[in-house]
Amino acid sequence: MFKKIAITSIGAVALFLSATLVYADDHALKVVGESQDVSGGTVTASRITADANGWMVVHRVKENGKPGPVVGHSPLRSGENTNVTAILTSSVDKGDKLMLMLHGETGGTQTGILEYTLGAKEDGPIKVDGNLVMAVIEAQ
């Protein structure tokens, strides 16, 4: 009887721990986006998880793979955001790489206005363990 209870308890603990790990991973900061047609002047991230209100900032990707100029942005709320669409402020050609990046709403003087410019601290990029929270897509 004791052996059966112990095995059942161990199984329940293992199930709880695996569910907790999936929950934690599912709620980690992330940007999910797919290559897409941007000929309509917009780009969409299918899902962004943020720990505070902020921004999805769309960067053109430089030849070296680093973020380049900002070509669009959209506000985010804390938590899970789905189908986040930004209006592109510059033309984007088929085959261009775009970086959909999570930015904060900190360091600036205005709330609700993106104050970021490339390299600035205001409303700057969010990093986890030194890595940008972003997804690179291709314009189609």
97: buried, middle or exposed (CB in 10 Å: 19+, 13-18, 0-12)?
A: middle
Residue 12's pLDDT is 45
The answer to whether residue 21 is domain-embedded is no
**Residue 1 CA: distances (Å) to CA of 12, 15, 26:** 17, 21, 37
Residue 118's pLDDT is 87
What is the number of domains present in the chain?
A: 1
Three-class SS of residue 6?
Answer: helix
The answer to whether residue 6 is domain-embedded is no
CB within 8 Å of 94: residues ≥ 6 apart: 39, 139, 140
The answer to whether residue 14 is domain-embedded is no
Q: Which residue has the higher pLDDT, 3 or 60?
A: 60
Strand extents, DSSP E, 3-78: 30-32, 42-50, 54-61, 67-76
- Domain hosting 41: range is 29-138
Average pLDDT score over the chain = 87
Residue 20's pLDDT is 38
The answer to whether residue 53 is domain-embedded is yes
Poorest-pLDDT segment among 26-30, 81-85, 123-127: 26-30
The answer to whether residue 68 is domain-embedded is yes
The answer to whether residue 17 is domain-embedded is no
Q: What is the pLDDT of residues 36-61, one digit of tens each?
A: 999 999 999 999 999 999 999 999 99
- Taking residue 67's Cβ as centre, other Cβ atoms within 10 Å add up to 20
User: Is the model's pLDDT at 98 over the cut of 60?
Assistant: yes
Kindly state the helix (H) or strand (E) to which residue 134 belongs, with its residue range: strand 134-138
Residue 4's pLDDT is 54
Report residue 72's pLDDT band, with 50, 70 and 90 as the boundaries.
very high
The answer to whether residue 55 is domain-embedded is yes
Q: How far separated are the first and last CA of the chain, in Å rounded? A: 63
The answer to whether residue 16 is domain-embedded is no
**Residue 107 CA: distances (Å) to CA of 26, 93, 98, 104, 124:** 28, 33, 25, 9, 8
φ and ψ at 14, to 5 degrees? -60, -40
CATH number of the domain to which 87 belongs = 2.60.40
User: Is the model's pLDDT at 99 over the cut of 70?
Assistant: yes
Cα distance between residue 54 and residue 56, in whole Å: 7
